[in-house]
C-alpha cells in the first residue's frame, strides 16, 4: 500500500501544524526518576522503624544478587538469539527456495512458530525435551535454563526467517537477473550476491527482535528457571513477605530492563535511518 | 456429542492419545471456560488498546510540550520493559498499595482482581505501540487534506474524528494488524497471575490427566487458529475499508 | 542463431506473436520499435531469462526451449547487458568484472585479474577499478557492466536498451564502446532507441510492432525507403 509521503508537507498554518516529534533528553528521565524517588525516599525514611529496614536500604542490599539474576537473563537472550538466528537464516533461505515442497515446509514452520504464544512454546520445550540427551556415547544433561533457551529460540527462528525473506524480496529483481545472466548457480547467487546486500537492511528488524526476546526471557521464571524474577520472589519471601516491597522491587527491575532496552531501541532507529532503503 | 466422546475414549484405549477435553464433561467444561476467558481477554484488551492508541495519538499532537513529553515517556517505558514485569508491578505491586474491599462472605479481597489487572496492564502495553502506529498513520495524511478540512470549517477535533482518523486508520492497518495478533499471544501472561485462561486450565488438565503432549498440540492448534481467525477478520476489514485506485499494488 | 516462430504470453497477454529471425556469427543486428512491442521480451527469451510457450530459439546449436536445458552453459556463451546496469553494489568495479570468471568458470585468479584490468582499460575506465558502483556515474557503471559480461568471453552479446537510462552526454561513451565491440567482430543483438547509432553500427535492422517483426533490412534500405506503413509511421514519429 502506498504511504503518502512526508514530502507532501510544506509550512502549515500554526493550529494545524503537525507537531514535531519529541526527542526525549536524558535529563527528562532523570527529572522523572527524581520526582518519583525523592518523595518516596522521604516517605520511606519516615516510615522506617527499628527492625523494619527502609525500602531503599533493602533494595540496595539485594541488588548484587538481583543483578546476577539479570545477567543470567541477558545470557539467555544471547544464546537464544544466536541459535535462533542461525536456524532462522536457513529457514529464510528455505522460504525463497525454488523447490515447492521446501517452500511449503518452511512456510508451515514459520507460521506455526510465529503464531504460537512464546509462553506456550516455553512450556512445550520444558515438558517435551528430555532432561538429558544421548548423542553417540555422550550423556549431555539439559538443565532447565537450556530447555528455556531452546524454547525461546524457536519463535526467534521463525521471525528471523521472515526477516530474511523480507530482505531478500526487497532486493531489486535486476540483481537476480544480472547474476543469472552471468551463469552463477542459485547457491552462488544467494550466498555471494543477494545475502551480503541483505545484511544491512536486516539489521533494524533483527535488533528489534532481540529487544523483544530480552523482554521475553522473564517468561522463563514462570516455567521455573532461576532468573531475575524468580530471585525477586525469593527476595520478597526472605524479607518476610512484605507486600509494600513488591512495587519498588518490580519497579527497580523494570528500570534495569528499560536502561538495557532503550539504548538498543535508539540504536535501531539510528541504523534504520542510516540504512534507509530506497526501493 | 456422546458419539464423538465415545470415539475419543476409544482412541485413548487403542492408541494412547488421551483427549479428556472431549470425552470428559468436567475437563471439557473447564477447557471451554478457559477458551472463553482467553477470547474475552483478547477482545477487551484489543478494544481498550485501540482506544488508548487513539487518545494517545491525539495527545501526542497536543501543543502543550509537557503533554507530549509525558506521552513519550509513557510510550518509551511501556515499550522497553517486559510486559510480564509490568503485569507483576500492577498485580502484586500496585495492588498491595490499594485499599482492600469486603467480599460478600465477609473476607477481604483486593480492590481489583486478576482479570482486571491483566486487562489494564496489557491494554497499556499494547496501547503504547498503538500510539506510535496511529501517530505514523496520522502523519501520513497529507497536509493538503487537513487544509481542505479547515477550509470547510471543521474544528480541530471534528477534523480529527471525521477526516484524519479514517484516513490514518486505513494507512496503518497492516501494522495495527500485527500488533493485535501479538496481543492474542500476550494474553497467555495471565497464567502468571492465576487467571484461568486457556493456558492455565490446560496446565491444570495436563497435571491431572498427564497428557502433556496431546494438550500441547491442542493448545498450539487453537492459538494458531485464533490468530488465523483474527487475521481473517482484519483482512475483511482491510478489504471493506480499501480506497479504490489508491494503492499501486 | 536461429529464432523461429516464437510465441510468448504473460498470462492472457500475448507479447510475442510468432517472431522469427536468423543471425550469423559476427552479425550485428538492432531491434527497434515502439514500447510494448516485445523487443525486450524477445531478448530475454534468448538467454532463457524468460520462458516462452511456442517456437524455437537455437543458439549455436543449443535449443533454448529444451526442458533439460543447462541454462548456465547457455549463459556462459551468451552475455547480457541491462538497461539498469545491475552492477553488484557491494563489490568494487574490478571485483564485479572478476567475480563471474572466478566463481563460475573457476579460472585462476591471476589470469582473471589481468584480463579484467585489460577489459577495464578497453572500456576506458582505467583508474576506476577500486571504485564502488555507487561512486560512479551511470555511463561508467554501464561500461563496467559491459566489461563484466565480456569477461566471460561470450560468443553473443545481448544489449537491452542499455542507453535508455543515461543522459545524452554519457550515452555517447557507451555507444563508442559498443561500436568498438562490433568492429572487432562480436556477434551483437541490440535493442535500442538510438536510431543514428543503429544506422551506423548494424548490419541489419529489425522493426517490431505488437509482437511481430514487421520489416527488416540493411540500414540504408530500412531508413531511406521503409516498405511497411507501420514502419513509416514509426520512423516519421521519430524525426
pLDDT at A51: 45
Smallest Cβ–Cβ distance between A180 and the set C49, C73, C103 belongs to C49
For residue B2, give how far its alpha carbon lies from the nearest alpha carbon of chain A (Å). Answer: 30
Per-residue model confidence as pLDDT tens digits over A119-146:
999 998 988 888 777 777 788 888 888 9
DSSP state of A5: P
CB–CB contact A250 B185 (8 Å):
no
CB–CB contact B174 A1 (8 Å):
yes
B246 is a domain residue: no
For residue C100, CA distances in Å to A229, B130, B131, C218 come to: 55, 48, 50, 35
CB–CB contact A182 C100 (8 Å):
yes
Smallest Cβ–Cβ distance between A177 and the set C76, C86, C149 belongs to C86
| Cβ pair B52, B75 in contact under 8 A | no
Number of domains in chain B: 1
Residues of C in Cβ contact (< 8 Å) with A175: 86, 88
CB–CB contact A257 B81 (8 Å):
yes
Task: Write out the residue range of the structural domain in which residue B76 sits.
Answer: 39-207
- Evaluate if residue A1 carries a pLDDT over 50: no
- As a whole number, mean pLDDT of residues A245-271 equals 88
pLDDT at B60: 85
B227 is a domain residue: no
Residues of B in Cβ contact (< 8 Å) with A2: 246-248
B29 is a domain residue: no
Band of pLDDT at residue A26, cut at 50, 70 and 90: low
| Cβ pair A127, B216 in contact under 8 A | yes
For residue A128, give how far its alpha carbon lies from the nearest alpha carbon of chain B (Å). Answer: 7
For residue C168, give how far its alpha carbon lies from the nearest alpha carbon of chain A (Å). Answer: 23
For residue A5, give how far its alpha carbon lies from the nearest alpha carbon of chain B (Å). Answer: 6
- Evaluate if residue B67 carries a pLDDT over 90: no
Measured distance CA(C6)–CA(B248) in Å, rounded: 32
Band of pLDDT at residue A29, cut at 50, 70 and 90: low
Q: Which domains, and CATH codes, for chain A? A: 26-274 (1.10.3720.10)
pLDDT at A77: 95
pLDDT at C173: 84
Can you read off the three cell numbers belonging to residue C8? 510468448
- Evaluate if residue A195 carries a pLDDT over 70: yes
Residues of C in Cβ contact (< 8 Å) with A178: 82, 86-88, 145
Residue of B41, B42, B66, B93 to mutate for A, most A C-beta atoms under 10 A:
B93
Q: Does B146 touch chain A (CB under 8 A)?
A: yes
What 3-state class would DSSP assign to B103? coil
Residues of C in Cβ contact (< 8 Å) with A193: 88
A202-206, B8-12, B151-155, B167-171 — which is least confidently predicted?
B151-155
pLDDT at A214: 93
CB–CB contact B72 A258 (8 Å):
no
Tell me the count of A-B CB pairs closer than 8 A.
Answer: 165
Residues of A in Cβ contact (< 8 Å) with B188: 117-120
At B84, which CATH number? 1.10.3720.10
C: neighbours with 3+ CB pairs under 8 Å? A
Smallest Cβ–Cβ distance between B223 and the set A24, A32, A117 belongs to A117
- Evaluate if residue A15 carries a pLDDT over 50: no
B168 is a domain residue: yes
B125 is a domain residue: yes
For residue A194, give how far its alpha carbon lies from the nearest alpha carbon of chain C (Å). Answer: 9
- Evaluate if residue B243 carries a pLDDT over 50: yes
Band of pLDDT at residue A154, cut at 50, 70 and 90: very high
Residues of B in Cβ contact (< 8 Å) with A127: 212-213, 216
Q: Does B142 touch chain A (CB under 8 A)?
A: yes
B33 is a domain residue: no
What 3-state class would DSSP assign to C35? coil
Residues of A in Cβ contact (< 8 Å) with C76: 183
Per-residue model confidence as pLDDT tens digits over A35-63:
666 656 655 655 555 445 677 778 888 88
Can you read off the three cell numbers belonging to residue B126? 499494547
B229 is a domain residue: no
The interface predicted TM-score of the complex, written ipTM, equals 0.83
DSSP assignment string, A146-197:
HHHHHHHHHHHHHHHHHHHHHHHHTS-HHHHHHHHHTT--HHHIIIIIIHHH
CB–CB contact C75 A180 (8 Å):
yes
Smallest Cβ–Cβ distance between C75 and the set A181, A192, A196 belongs to A181
Residues above pLDDT 90, as percent of chain B: 24
Band of pLDDT at residue B238, cut at 50, 70 and 90: confident
pLDDT at B82: 93
Smallest Cβ–Cβ distance between A184 and the set C47, C80, C100 belongs to C100
The one-digit pLDDT tens for each residue of chain C (239 residues) are: 777 777 777 777 888 888 888 888 888 999 988 877 888 888 888 888 888 888 888 888 788 877 777 778 888 888 888 888 888 888 889 988 888 888 888 889 999 999 999 999 988 888 888 888 888 888 899 999 999 989 888 889 999 888 888 888 888 888 888 888 888 888 999 998 888 888 888 888 888 888 888 888 888 888 787 777 787 787 777 65
| The model scores a pTM over 0.90 | no
Residues of B in Cβ contact (< 8 Å) with A33: none
pLDDT at A42: 58
DSSP state of C78: E
For residue B57, CA distances in Å to B102, B225, B243 come to: 39, 31, 23
DSSP state of C160: E
Can you read off the three cell numbers belonging to residue A107? 512456510
Instruction: Give the bridge partners for C29, in sequence order.
Output: C189, C204
- As a whole number, mean pLDDT of residues A245-274 equals 87
pLDDT at C77: 86
For residue C48, give how far its alpha carbon lies from the nearest alpha carbon of chain A (Å). Answer: 9
DSSP assignment string, A72-134:
HHHHHHHHHHHHHHHHHHHHHHHHT-SSHHHHHHHHHHHHHHHHS-HHHHHHHHHHHS-SEEE
Residue of A172, A177, A180, A181 to mutate for C, most C C-beta atoms under 10 A:
A181
Chain B residues 193-232 within an 8 A CB cutoff of chain A:
199, 203, 212-213, 216, 219-220, 223-224, 227-228
- Evaluate if residue B146 carries a pLDDT over 60: yes
pLDDT at A142: 84
Chain B residues 66-95 within an 8 A CB cutoff of chain A:
68-69, 71-73, 76-77, 79-86, 88-89, 92-94
- Evaluate if residue A10 carries a pLDDT over 50: no
Measured distance CA(A88)–CA(A27) in Å, rounded: 39
Per-residue model confidence as pLDDT tens digits over B71-92:
888 898 898 999 999 999 888 8
> Across chain A, what does the average pLDDT equal?
81
Phi, psi of B107 (to 5 degrees): -85, 175
B173 is a domain residue: yes
| Cβ pair B135, A6 in contact under 8 A | no
Residues above pLDDT 90, as percent of chain A: 30
| Chains B and A lie in contact, requiring 3 or more CB pairs less than 8 Å apart | yes
Amino acid at each position: 500500500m502506498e504511504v503518502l509521503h512526508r514530502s507532501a508537507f510544506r509550512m502549515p498554518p500554526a493550529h494545524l501544524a503537525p507537531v514535531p516529534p519529541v526527542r526525549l533528553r536524558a535529563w527528562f528521565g532523570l527529572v522523572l526518576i527524581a520526582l518519583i524517588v525523592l518523595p518516596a525516599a522521604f516517605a520511606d525514611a519516615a516510615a522506617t522503624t527499628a527492625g523494619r529496614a527502609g525500602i531503599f536500604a533493602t533494595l540496595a542490599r539485594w541488588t548484587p544478587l538481583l543483578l546476577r539474576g539479570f545477567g543470567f537473563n541477558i545470557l539467555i537472550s544471547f544464546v537464544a538469539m544466536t541459535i535462533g538466528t542461525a536456524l532462522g537464516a536457513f529457514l529464510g533461505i528455505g522460504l525463497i527456495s525454488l523447490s515447492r515442497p521446501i517452500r511449503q515446509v518452511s512456510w508451515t514452520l514459520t507460521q506455526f512458530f510465529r503464531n504460537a504464544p512464546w509462553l506456550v512454546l516455553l512450556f512445550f520445550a520444558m515438558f517435551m525435551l528430555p532432561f538429558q540427551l544421548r548423542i553417540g556415547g555422550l550423556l549431555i544433561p539439559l538443565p532447565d535454563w537450556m530447555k528455556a533457551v531452546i524454547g525461546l529460540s524457536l519463535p526467534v527462528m521463525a521471525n528471523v526467517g521472515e526477516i530474511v525473506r523480507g530482505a531478500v524480496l526487497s532486493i531489486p529483481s535486476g540483481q537476480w537477473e544480472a547474476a543469472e545472466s552471468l551463469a552463477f548457480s542459485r547457491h552462488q547467487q544467494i550466498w555471494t550476491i543477494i545475502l551480503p546486500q541483505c545484511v544491512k537492511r536486516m539489521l533494524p528488524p533483527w535488533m528489534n527482535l532481540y529487544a523483544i526476546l530480552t523482554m521475553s526471557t522473564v517468561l522463563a521464571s514462570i516455567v521455573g528457571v532461576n532468573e531475575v524474577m524468580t530471585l525477586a520472589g525469593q527476595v520478597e519471601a526472605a524479607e518476610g513477605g512484605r507486600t509494600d516491597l513488591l512495587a519498588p522491587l518490580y519497579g527497580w527491575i523494570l528500570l534495569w530492563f528499560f536502561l538495557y532496552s532503550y539504548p538498543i531501541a535508539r540504536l535501531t532507529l539510528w541504523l534504520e535511518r542510516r540504512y534507509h532503503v530506497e526501493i | 456429542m456422546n458419539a464423538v466422546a465415545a470415539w475419543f475414549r476409544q482412541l485413548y484405549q487403542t492408541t494412547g492419545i488421551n483427549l479428556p477435553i472431549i470425552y470428559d464433561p468436567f475437563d471439557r467444561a473447564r477447557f471451554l471456560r478457559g477458551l472463553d476467558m482467553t477470547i474475552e481477554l483478547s477482545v477487551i484488551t484489543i478494544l481498550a488498546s485501540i482506544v488508548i492508541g487513539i487518545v494517545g495519538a491525539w495527545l501526542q499532537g497536543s501543543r502543550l510540550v509537557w503533554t507530549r513529553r509525558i506521552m513519550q515517556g509513557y510510550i518509551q517505558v511501556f515499550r522497553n520493559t517486559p510486559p510480564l514485569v509490568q503485569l507483576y508491578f500492577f498485580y502484586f505491586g500496585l495492588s498491595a498499595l490499594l485499599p482492600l474491599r469486603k467480599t460478600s462472605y465477609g473476607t477481604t479481597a483486593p480492590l481489583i482482581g486478576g482479570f482486571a489487572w491483566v486487562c489494564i496492564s496489557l491494554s497499556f502495553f499494547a496501547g503504547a505501540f498503538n500510539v506510535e502506529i496511529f501517530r505514523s498513520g496520522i502523519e501520513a495524511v497529507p497536509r493538503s487534506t487537513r487544509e481542505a478540512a479547515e477550509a470547510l470549517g471543521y474544528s480541530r477535533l471534528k477534523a480529527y474524528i471525521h477526516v484524519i482518523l479514517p484516513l490514518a486508520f486505513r494507512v496503518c492497518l497492516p501494522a495495527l494488524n500485527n500488533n493485535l495478533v501479538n496481543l492474542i499471544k500476550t494474553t497467555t501472561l495471565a497464567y502468571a497471575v492465576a487467571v484461568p485462561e486457556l493456558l492455565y486450565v490446560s496446565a491444570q488438565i495436563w497435571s491431572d490427566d498427564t497428557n502433556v503432549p496431546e494438550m500441547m498440540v491442542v493448545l498450539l492448534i487453537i492459538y494458531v487458529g485464533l490468530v488465523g481467525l483474527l487475521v481473517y477478520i482484519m483482512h475483511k476489514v482491510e478489504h471493506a475499508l480499501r480506497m479504490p485506485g489508491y494503492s499501486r499494488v | 542463431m536461429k529464432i523461429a516462430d516464437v510465441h510468448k504470453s504473460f498470462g492472457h497477454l500475448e507479447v510475442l506473436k510468432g517472431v522469427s529471425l536468423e543471425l550469423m556469427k559476427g552479425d550485428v543486428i538492432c531491434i527497434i520499435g515502439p514500447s510494448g512491442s516485445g523487443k525486450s521480451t524477445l531478448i530475454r527469451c534468448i538467454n532463457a531469462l524468460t520462458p516462452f510457450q511456442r517456437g524455437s530459439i537455437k543458439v549455436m546449436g543449443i535449443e533454448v526451449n529444451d526442458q533439460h536445458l543447462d541454462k548456465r552453459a547457455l549463459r556462459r556463451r551468451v552475455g547480457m547487458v541491462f538497461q539498469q546496469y545491475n552492477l553488484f553494489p557491494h563489490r568494487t568495479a574490478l571485483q564485479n568484472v572478476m567475480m563471474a570468471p572466478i566463481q563460475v568458470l573457476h579460472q585462476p585468479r591471476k589470469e582473471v585479474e589481468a584480463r579484467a584490468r585489460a577489459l577495464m582499460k578497453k572500456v576506458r575506465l582505467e583508474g576506476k577499478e577500486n571504485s564502488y558502483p555507487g561512486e560512479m556515474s551511470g555511463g561508467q557503471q554501464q561500461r563496467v557492466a559491459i566489461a563484466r559480461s565480456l569477461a566471460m568471453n561470450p560468443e553473443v552479446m545481448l544489449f537491452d536498451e542499455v542507453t535508455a537510462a543515461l543522459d545524452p552526454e554519457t550515452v555517447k561513451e557507451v555507444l563508442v564502446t559498443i561500436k568498438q565491440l562490433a568492429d572487432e567482430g562480436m556477434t551483437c543483438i541490440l535493442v535500442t532507441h538510438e536510431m543514428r547509432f543503429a544506422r551506423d553500427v548494424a548490419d541489419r535492422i529489425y522493426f517490431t510492432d505488437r509482437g511481430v517483426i514487421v520489416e527488416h533490412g540493411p540500414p540504408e534500405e530500412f531508413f531511406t525507403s521503409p516498405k511497411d506503413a507501420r514502419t513509416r509511421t514509426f520512423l516519421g514519429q521519430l524525426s
